[in-house]
Amino acid sequence: MTRRKTPEYGFETRMVHAGAQPEPVTGARQTPIFQNTSYVFHDADDAASLFNLQSFGFIYSRLTNPTTAVLEERLASLEGGRGTTCSASGHSAQLLAFFAIMEPGDRFIASNKLYGGSVTQFGKTFQKFGWHCDFVDFDEPDAITNALTPKTKAIFCEALANPGGVVTDIEAAAAIAREAGIPLIVDNTMATPYLCRPIEWGADIVLHSTTKFLSGNGTSMGGAVVDSGLFDWGQNDRFPGLAAPEPAYHGLNFWESFGDMALTMHGHAIGLRDLGPTMAPMNAFQTILGIESLAMRMQRHCENAMKVATFLENHARVAWVRYAGLPSSPYHARAQKYLSGGFGSVFTFGVKGGYEAGLKVVESCCLFSHLANIGDARSLILHPASTTHRQLTTEQRDTAGAGDDVIRLSIGVETPEDLIRDLNEALG
């Protein structure tokens, strides 16, 4: 299939307008918060049609909600996708995506350079569903190919990995997935669609923790599964969840019935219905507001990050800096290919003195907030080895770029000179 390009309107126009219209009853221009559980049917036939998935509408907010629907359309527009399923968190979005395509005993391949929580979810928790993950180094394409088995159902990576500053060769991974007849799933949380649109490089499914840069304010949990609508789920018999009769809907076949909306419809009608990780309407509303300033915020995030990274690279107490924006990064050339408008806000550096020195720097900062999040307008600092990656082995932490000396920064939109002064004083 031909890859879909982003719509005609510019990115900034779509981040403000996509998916939204003035509310027809009151004329309210901003999307209202539909803080309700259920919706009145026009009549018995209308109710039956909605429950049979024969028409689109609102039944119960575990499945669909008008506020969340605006966010879903906006994200699909910004990523150049066909549809979106929003969920309660980034981890629940990962669960929904795999739930649609995996069966007990199936496998998927994931990059070994991922957010620590994803490594634990894939390597431990998913095994309770009978799903097995093979972690490989995506810098070695042959490693991906060699890990393929008849039971492999997907390939997963992060466009810009958290926290190690790794930029994935999406196009190469997409070619391997396409040859194997399986989807490429790309987590685009760190880059956002402002910097990278994985679908244009061959990704079939794009995931987000909307908690991060999309909301941008540190108030609203959420996740999203954006479907390109381009993967042929009926090309073989490997994806019965999407291309075989669904008993819960009297034998309905999602792929035959909904075509390029099959995954999105499954996410709502099966995933949200049965697993229940629904995004709260208030969180959807807050994320819509956040996206309205995404381009401007990302520009400032990236500008500030470059200034801070350059300062740290020349600091006597710093052993190294991993930021794709620096010419010294092994991923600099790849970042120039896949990222437009900047190199991201999150990066790591190593402080001389190891684990204890890292803890001291984190505890000595005043302006940087010590917490386990990224993508806030405020600058954030973390020692991954003692927090987000502490459940991993030493080898896993080192592979993920979260060794004992590593400090992760999420650079906000403050005055950059203030951020540099705070770090300089903390480093001593």
User: Between 1 and 114, whose confidence is greater?
Assistant: 114
Phi (first) and psi of residue 271, to 5 degrees: -60, -55
Q: Which residues of 124-144 are buried (b: 16+ CB within 10 A; e: fewer)?
A: eebeeeebbbbbbebbeeebb
60/37 Cα distance (integer angstroms): 6
Q: Taking a C-beta distance cutoff of 8 angstroms, is the pair 82, 5 a contact? A: no
Q: What is the pLDDT of residues 387-415, one digit of tens each?
A: 766 777 778 777 767 788 899 999 999 99
In this predicted structure, what is the pLDDT of residue 284?
98
180/174 Cα distance (integer angstroms): 10
- Mean pLDDT for 33-52 is 93
Q: Tell me how many domains the chain contains.
A: 2
Q: Which of 290, 311, 329 is the last residue of a domain?
A: 290
**Three-class secondary structure of residue 388 per DSSP:** coil
Q: Which of 247, 273, 290 is the last residue of a domain?
A: 290
86/287 Cα distance (integer angstroms): 11
Q: Which residues of 38-72 are buried (b: 16+ CB within 10 A; e: fewer)?
A: eeebeeeeeeebbeebeeeebeebbbbbbbbbbbb
User: Between 394 and 45, whose confidence is greater?
Assistant: 45
Q: Are residues 283 and 382 in the same domain?
A: no
Residue 94 lies in a domain: yes
Q: Taking a C-beta distance cutoff of 8 angstroms, is the pair 324, 344 a contact? A: yes
In this predicted structure, what is the pLDDT of residue 398?
74
Q: Which of 290, 322, 355 is the last residue of a domain?
A: 290
Q: What is the CATH number of the domain that holds 402?
A: 3.90.1150.10
How does residue 1 score in pLDDT terms, banded at 50, 70 and 90? very low
In this predicted structure, what is the pLDDT of residue 364?
95
In this predicted structure, what is the pLDDT of residue 162?
84
Residue 384 lies in a domain: yes
Q: Are residues 318 and 269 in the same domain?
A: no
Q: Taking a C-beta distance cutoff of 8 angstroms, is the pair 213, 345 a contact? A: yes
User: Between 106 and 163, whose confidence is greater?
Assistant: 106
Q: Taking a C-beta distance cutoff of 8 angstroms, is the pair 264, 83 a contact? A: yes
Cα-Cα-Cα-Cα dihedral sign, residues 10, 12, 17, 18: positive
In this predicted structure, what is the pLDDT of residue 7?
54
Residue 1 lies in a domain: no
Q: Are residues 269 and 318 in the same domain?
A: no
330/162 Cα distance (integer angstroms): 16
